[in-house]
Structure 1
Amino acid sequence: MRDFGLPPLATAPATGGLADSVYEVAGRDPGLVQLSRRAPDGEAWLPVTAAGFRDEVTGVAKGLLAGGVRFGERVAVMARTRYEWTLFCYALWSVGATVVPVYPTSSAEQVRWILADARATAVVVEHADHAMTVGAACDGLPLRAIWELDAGCVEELTALGRDLPDSVVHRHRRAVAPESVATLAYTSGTTGRPKGCVITHANLAAECDTLFAGWRDVLAGQGEQPAVLAFLPLSHIYGLMVQVVCLRGGVRLGHQPDLAPAALLPALASFRPTYLFAVPYVFEKVFDAARRAAQQAGRGKLFDRAVAVAVRHAEAEQRRERGEGPGPGPVLRTAHAVFDRPVYARLRAALGGRVRHATSGGSTLDPELGLFFAGAGIVIHDGYGLTETTAAITSQPPGRPRFGTVGRPLPGCAVHIAADGEIWVRGDVVFSGYHGDPEATGAVLHDGWFATGDVGRLDEDGFLTITGRKKDIIVTSSGKSLSPQLLEERLRRHPLISQCLVVGDDRPFVAALITLDAEAAEHWHRERGRRPSPGREAMVDQELHAEIQRAVSMANSAVSRAESIRAFRILPGEFSTADGLLTPSLKLRRGAIARAYAAEIDELYAS
């Protein structure tokens, strides 16, 4: 058993709530560009000053009060990541209401569960389809209003509250205390129904102020105002945390609703952020797009050599930081400089040209991918956290990455490894419990420590490595126990493989379900002068099967024979949030996938 903790960097607020920062920043620096909005043409970004945002928040807050929202009530927001999400969030906090985020692709059943469990009194939706979903789910629920963003509800509410004095909003705002509930953030529900995590204003303030205090210098570019493009779902605690960091720290915030590379990369290029908050999926897709572009231009071998040099350069830098070596030698430095313009600079330009540091969360970043980005001039600080910990509770320290780990506890937090390897954490960021579920709360909170359900280890410097999740441990029928994480991570390194689920619980051997990256597969076929194998044809394509078999064999080299994958199936399409097989943070919903593909799994073992 090991423990590691750090003293706090930031002091927890003694009074007030999260909305106060909007009014304080506007009072201190009214002309500061606090946000940027997409212009109607979808290309340009229009500035929103701190004073302008404050006035919009106040206008919507008055409309909410006039529309019947009362202090302490819970209002759900069901929309993609867009400017109005942030506007409503701060308007609700200004009147002392609790925000209940709902993921925009949720089914009617999921929406009904969350609205009923939270006892929401109103819902903000993005468009008519969401309104229909809520309408189908809310029969018998005490909903007083459904406001639709695309139908002009911002203007409607602002007009509704126009005759109320601003002082009414400020009276509500000043009644909010740090221990007031800011959000009921529902877990992703990888197993069972989502649970509502009670996250207070103090939890989010502690998280965001600590991150801003420790990472302030790397958030900005060369003396510029820091800028962050939010593209993670604001319905997830990670995305919500990014929003609050920006508005508390004077960081210019933009919104991008679509995570697909074809939409995200142009948005990054036009917005030009100084820092990136993302999940491993985004970094993987950026890397894959860069490699495909190089191959299509006839520079595939050059790109591969540049990757190898970047990884070696970053490894040498990391060893120097740890006092274990002199750093990159002259030959390596020269090779690194040669590859900068044709490869590394192009990658940085794809992210807008100003990003030099980033944060990865949601799941563990592949260490080789982290080394490559560091060698290319973008240091990714891998972190670890859960909804129950208000997002991150560990992170790579600025300037001191240790790839393959998720960093050290954030200042003010502590990590403890229990006797069975489970990770326990504590700190001001840890939630107060599950809404209306004392039994589930008691099962995970122990004298201030939160039992995460994840398994890991701490090194001598306090860096945490995640080795798996207790509930995901596979036990074969022969009694062999293994964590699927290592095999899945190694398989995803192959450019053709998008996702992988390792199975084998109570089975005679380990097997895998594999999905392909559609663009990578199309490029792979074109390079070989072949017609792409769409959908189910890919499942019986022998040449493609042989290529994936090579990837499986490479992954198996990292484990014992008893833990190795003996059979696999290529699936006709990727897992998605829309079909309920991925969480909002793009984690696999293992149980749901196993149920959806039960026949395919049975066939693997029957054959």
Structure 2
Amino acid sequence: MREITSPPLVSTAGHRNATDLLMQRFRSDPGHVAFEVRSGGAAITEPWRQVTTQQFVHEVRALAKGFIAAGLQPGESLAIMSPTRYEWALADMAAWFAGAVVVPIYETSALPQVTAILKDAEVRLAVAGSAAHALLLEQGFEQAGTAGLGVWTMDARQVSDRADLARLAAAGAHVPDAAVEQRRLLADLDSVATIVYTSGTTAAPKGALITHGNFVGQVLNVAAAYTEVVRGDGNTIIFLPMAHVLARGLQLICLANGMRIAHLSDPRDVVPALGALKPTFLVVVPRVLQKIQASAAAAAAKKKLGPVWALAQRTAVEWGRFAEAHDADPTVRAPFGLRARHALFGRLFYARLRTLVGGRLDFLLSGAAALDAELSLFFRGLGLPVIEGYGLTETTAPLTGNMPGSIKAGSVGVPMPGTTVRISEQGEVLARGVGVFAGYRRAADNEEAFEDGFFRTGDLGALDERGRLTLTGRSKDVIVTAGGKTISPAIWEGYVEGDPLVAHAVMVGEGKPYLGGLVLLDPESVAAWAEREGISDLAGLRIPHGGGAVQIDDSRLLSAIGKAVNAANAKIARSEQVRRFVLLLTDLSEANGFVTPTMKLKRGAFTEHARPIVEKLYAESGRRA
């Protein structure tokens, strides 16, 4: 199959712009709890403050008045740089109520990135999450040479020359409600709602123009497609960066459909928050699922139940595979032996894991990176189905997704309603539909971005007979060996990255006689593994400073990682297998330039930096996988 279209389920007619998603909910059920907000400094387990839709609309209007009083004009840009928190949502919606365009900036961005975005987007006013962010924004305005209307902080400040949002709202108290309503209705579905700068794994960041119609079309149609997930008595926790379009799209879906939202700025707080808030739905990245599985294995090993857990894990995968094979007829019973084992391990392990994540989770949604098929099957076997999806900034997040009752592990599912996916002659995934953006801010960036009216995603993939998409790599990441063989490294890398000890895996071999691998270790996971194995001399692994990479030659780690490499090789053709690999430890912070704000590895930047290591890998005998 070369092309498939999913027709829209809901029309966008009746919506002036994205603010109507909130206002229609406000008119239908103003007293419904929309947010659960953690008080500053309060423990995760303490009661969270509840904010109704009516209260949220009141706060949004008040802040919008402040933006208007500060001099923000319709169509001008407002930047938000902050960790994920309730005030991010407040500032985002208030900017739209004031008729502005929102420009998110990742909280981890460095001054040159902040400056470039402020200048390119012609930002007039900025909202900061902390004093440090406020300073960066102020310096960015100065270096960009643009006249701003000021930087406002989310927290109450003691410094008189830097006001907070509460003071800003108070300063706008004289602005009449009618003026805000007039501003709110200025934008239509074709108007730009936000300029989101791509994370740039293969090129310089580009400003994607996402319209109000993109948001409205996605929110209405995704909610209609996932009625088992999106429901009024449900709730979720958002801990992805709010600068990411997926988090903002998810928030709008919840706001429009009455799902309670809680925000967390630190992913390490997620596990204790699950028990306190008991979400029904959660968006995660595969790394989170890997760590949950690894933690369960570690807990079992500590109780001398390692072999029992290993069998429980295999049983969960087997159960998940059986369930997937019989999605069309869920009344088919599994073989007696599998049912017996699954019931036993359900009491020993699975129920406890479900309780650990709050006890109410119906589904997990995984995105941002490839999800190992066996990991997906494992969670399904636990009773926690994982809906894997795929999308980009330019598609306003979800482009495709598996559907409840029709989940195919290893696939990223079918096109979202209102979307067409086409596979080009070169194997590239092309997209057209309600979520596909209006183009990039700079005309030059659009020259090769579209083909025959379709957006070129840069990803390689294939459609099966049911229209489900499977991704096979990045079009710009292919490796051509000395023998002329063209290899897409993403599949092997994804398999190896399924090991919790591995932060990133990079296949190399451009112009070489065979393929090699650079395996970047996860220090936190390695330390936990060393403790479980009783290895004391690995507990002190230190990440090198200054952007360097250190090679790790510990035989025990090489053996452990070698199993993951061998397992990955066994799943692919011989010509695509890695023959030699090295273990590396490096600083993977965004400041080092090797990862994007969403922690995706910039392959080009890293492999260029690691060129001496690659040359050494081929010059010496190396390590055979």
Q: TM-score, normalised by structure 2?
A: 0.92
Secondary structure at the residue paired with 2:219? helix
1:392–1:532 distance in 2 versus 1, CA, 3 Å: farther
Q: Distance between the aligned counterparts of 1:415 and 1:50, measured in 2?
A: 36
State how 1:209-248 maps to structure 2 within 5 Å.
209-220=220-231, 225-248=233-256
Alignment counterpart, residue 421 of structure 2, candidates 397, 401, 415: 415
Q: Distance between the aligned counterparts of 1:249 and 1:542, measured in 2?
A: 54
Q: Distance between the aligned counterparts of 2:106 and 2:532, measured in 1?
A: 39
State how 1:583-594 maps to structure 2 within 5 Å.
583-594=596-607
Alignment counterpart, residue 472 of structure 2, candidates 467, 472, 483: 467
Q: Distance between the aligned counterparts of 2:104 and 2:13, measured in 1?
A: 24
Q: Any idea what the Cα deviations from partners look like across 1:421-466, whole Å, max 9, x if unmatched?
A: 11111111111100122x3223122343112111111111111100
Q: 1:214 touches 1:398 (CA, 8 Å); kept in 2?
A: no
State how 1:379-458 maps to structure 2 within 5 Å.
379-437=385-443, 439-458=444-463
Q: Distance between the aligned counterparts of 1:549 and 1:219, measured in 2?
A: 42
Q: 1:246 touches 1:252 (CA, 8 Å); kept in 2?
A: yes
Root-mean-square deviation over aligned CA pairs: 2.0
Query: Greater CA deviation, 144-153 or 4-13?
Result: 144-153
Q: Distance between the aligned counterparts of 2:432 and 2:317, measured in 1?
A: 34
Q: Distance between the aligned counterparts of 1:9 and 1:144, measured in 2?
A: 42
Q: 1:381 touches 1:397 (CA, 8 Å); kept in 2?
A: yes
1:532–1:9 distance in 2 versus 1, CA, 3 Å: farther
Q: Distance between the aligned counterparts of 2:587 and 2:364, measured in 1?
A: 27
Offset, 1:372: 0.6
Secondary structure at the residue paired with 1:64? helix
Q: Identify unmatched segments of 5+ residues in structure 2.
A: 158-163, 544-549, 621-625
Q: Distance between the aligned counterparts of 1:462 and 1:17, measured in 2?
A: 31
Q: Distance between the aligned counterparts of 2:138 and 2:493, measured in 1?
A: 40
Q: 2:21 touches 2:216 (CA, 8 Å); kept in 1?
A: no
State how 1:37-116 maps to structure 2 within 5 Å.
37-40=37-40, 41-43=42-44, 44-116=47-119
Aligned residue in 1 for 2:201: 190
Q: Distance between the aligned counterparts of 1:447 and 1:95, measured in 2?
A: 36
1:535 and 2:542 aligned: yes
Aligned residue in 1 for 2:264: 256
Size of the aligned set, in residue pairs, is 601
Secondary structure at the residue paired with 1:535? coil
1:565 and 2:568 aligned: no
Q: 2:420 touches 2:432 (CA, 8 Å); kept in 1?
A: yes
Q: 2:238 touches 2:263 (CA, 8 Å); kept in 1?
A: yes
Aligned residue in 2 for 1:24: 24
Query: Greater CA deviation, 293-302 or 225-234?
Result: 293-302
Q: TM-score, normalised by structure 1?
A: 0.95
Secondary structure at the residue paired with 2:96? helix
Q: Any idea what the Cα deviations from partners look like across 1:219-266, whole Å, max 9, x if unmatched?
A: 35xxx711010011110111111111111111101101112xx32211
Letter matched to residue 42 of structure 1: A
1:284–1:527 distance in 2 versus 1, CA, 3 Å: closer
Offset, 1:185: 1.0
Q: 2:298 touches 2:532 (CA, 8 Å); kept in 1?
A: no
Letter matched to residue 211 of structure 1: V
Aligned residue in 2 for 1:306: 312
Q: Any idea what the Cα deviations from partners look like across 1:60-91, whole Å, max 9, x if unmatched?
A: 00000001111100111111111100000000
Q: Distance between the aligned counterparts of 1:456 and 1:561, measured in 2?
A: 21
1:507–1:109 distance in 2 versus 1, CA, 3 Å: farther
Q: Distance between the aligned counterparts of 2:537 and 2:401, measured in 1?
A: 41
Offset, 1:13: 3.4
Q: Distance between the aligned counterparts of 2:500 and 2:34, measured in 1?
A: 39
1:357–1:514 distance in 2 versus 1, CA, 3 Å: same
Offset, 1:326: 4.2
Q: 1:62 touches 1:169 (CA, 8 Å); kept in 2?
A: yes
Secondary structure at the residue paired with 1:461? coil
Q: Distance between the aligned counterparts of 1:598 and 1:6, measured in 2?
A: 45
Offset, 1:599: 3.0
1:332–1:578 distance in 2 versus 1, CA, 3 Å: farther
Q: Distance between the aligned counterparts of 1:328 and 1:576, measured in 2?
A: 46
Q: Distance between the aligned counterparts of 1:444 and 1:75, measured in 2?
A: 26
Q: Distance between the aligned counterparts of 2:525 and 2:450, measured in 1?
A: 44
Q: Distance between the aligned counterparts of 1:591 and 1:13, measured in 2?
A: 44
1:143–1:38 distance in 2 versus 1, CA, 3 Å: same
Q: Distance between the aligned counterparts of 1:532 and 1:485, measured in 2?
A: 33
Q: Distance between the aligned counterparts of 2:441 and 2:13, measured in 1?
A: 24
Aligned residue in 2 for 1:36: 36
Q: Any idea what the Cα deviations from partners look like across 1:22-43, whole Å, max 9, x if unmatched?
A: 3332232221101010023132
Aligned residue in 1 for 2:623: none
State how 1:500-579 maps to structure 2 within 5 Å.
500-533=505-538, 534-535=541-542, 539-573=552-586, 575-579=588-592
State how 1:244-323 maps to structure 2 within 5 Å.
244-259=252-267, 262-322=268-328
Query: Greater CA deviation, 285-294 or 153-162?
Result: 285-294
Offset, 1:324: 12
Query: Greater CA deviation, 201-210 or 442-451?
Result: 442-451
Secondary structure at the residue paired with 2:229? helix
Secondary structure at the residue paired with 1:199? strand
Aligned residue in 2 for 1:597: 610
Aligned residue in 2 for 1:353: 359
Offset, 1:155: 0.7
Query: Greater CA deviation, 102-111 or 550-559?
Result: 550-559
Secondary structure at the residue paired with 1:571? strand
Q: Distance between the aligned counterparts of 1:150 and 1:19, measured in 2?
A: 25
Offset, 1:572: 2.1
Q: Distance between the aligned counterparts of 1:401 and 1:414, measured in 2?
A: 20
Q: Distance between the aligned counterparts of 1:176 and 1:327, measured in 2?
A: 54
Aligned residue in 2 for 1:9: 9
Q: Distance between the aligned counterparts of 1:361 and 1:382, measured in 2?
A: 6
Letter matched to residue 172 of structure 2: G
Q: Distance between the aligned counterparts of 2:301 and 2:70, measured in 1?
A: 57
Q: 1:488 touches 1:500 (CA, 8 Å); kept in 2?
A: yes
Q: 1:320 touches 1:327 (CA, 8 Å); kept in 2?
A: no
Secondary structure at the residue paired with 1:601? helix
Q: Distance between the aligned counterparts of 1:495 and 1:409, measured in 2?
A: 30
Secondary structure at the residue paired with 1:338? helix
Secondary structure at the residue paired with 1:234? coil
